[in-house]
Amino acid sequence: MFVAPLVVGARFPQAVALFSGLVAVCALVVLGVALQTHHLSTRLLAILAGLVAVDATLRLVIVVGVLGFSPIFFLIIAGGFVMGPSFGFASGAMTLLLSAVLTAGLGPWLPYQMLAAAWVGMGSGYLGRVSRRSSSRLGIALLCCYGAVAGLAYGLLLDLWEWPLLLAPASSPLSWVPGLGISELVRRFGGFYLSTSLVYDAFRAAGNAILIALLGPAVITALDRFRRRFLVNWMVSGPSLEQATGKISRDVGTPA
């Protein structure tokens, strides 16, 4: 979906709108499958709604970050790391959607932002599974590295969509031109990204890593407490339950 504008180009805005709609539908379908298969429970949705509201409000307060830095990715990454890939995917998509509504940022770019942010949250969820949601120094260091890489990857994905639409074909040596070969396409896009977006995205990557290093241990510990308290189903075996019931009955002097 992100490379579709490389084929379509800027001459077909109706096709770009169609691709944007398809991206939005794909994001909603994945979210619906997660809900239908109970990968997102009602209690998990309550926590999701709270985090999304806080994160979107944070973007409303800090609309313009330091170049590409935005604090909203911290909670997306931390939430996915603790709660899992499905939660991370939904958190990323819904945070970008709600924040766009609050900041009047609706446009054909929004579905791409939603999907890219959803992938950021989903990736942190898989990292949490591998590292067992560890808030140790090693776990936080891995999450810092992931936050930095995700910050760069997010900008790179969005540039793939924006590049053919920002510069008119053949207007410069870095612009998109229909019918280019793969090697020339990569060369031009690489030059465009290095000259226009790398520094901007580097601030996002550094900001993610710094926030995770400073606030990650406390926030991850707090979210893990929520997960254990509200999402873990504690199972008690039959004999143990009967023994506990009998003990309580003897203590209060009533028949079991």
The string of pLDDT tens digits covering residues 105-159 is 787 788 888 889 999 999 999 999 999 888 899 999 999 999 999 999 999 999 8
User: What's the pTM?
Assistant: 0.79
Residue (of 85, 210, 199, 82) closest to 145 by Cα position:
210
The pLDDT confidence band at residue 252, using thresholds 50, 70 and 90, is very low
Most confident among 34-38, 135-139, 142-146, 230-234 (mean pLDDT): 142-146
What is the domain partition of the chain in residue ranges?
A: 4-252
Amino acid at 113: Q
3-state secondary structure of 143: helix
Six-digit token string for 100: 């766009």
The pLDDT confidence band at residue 165, using thresholds 50, 70 and 90, is confident
Residue with tokens 């009955």: 249
**Average pLDDT of the chain to the nearest whole number:** 78
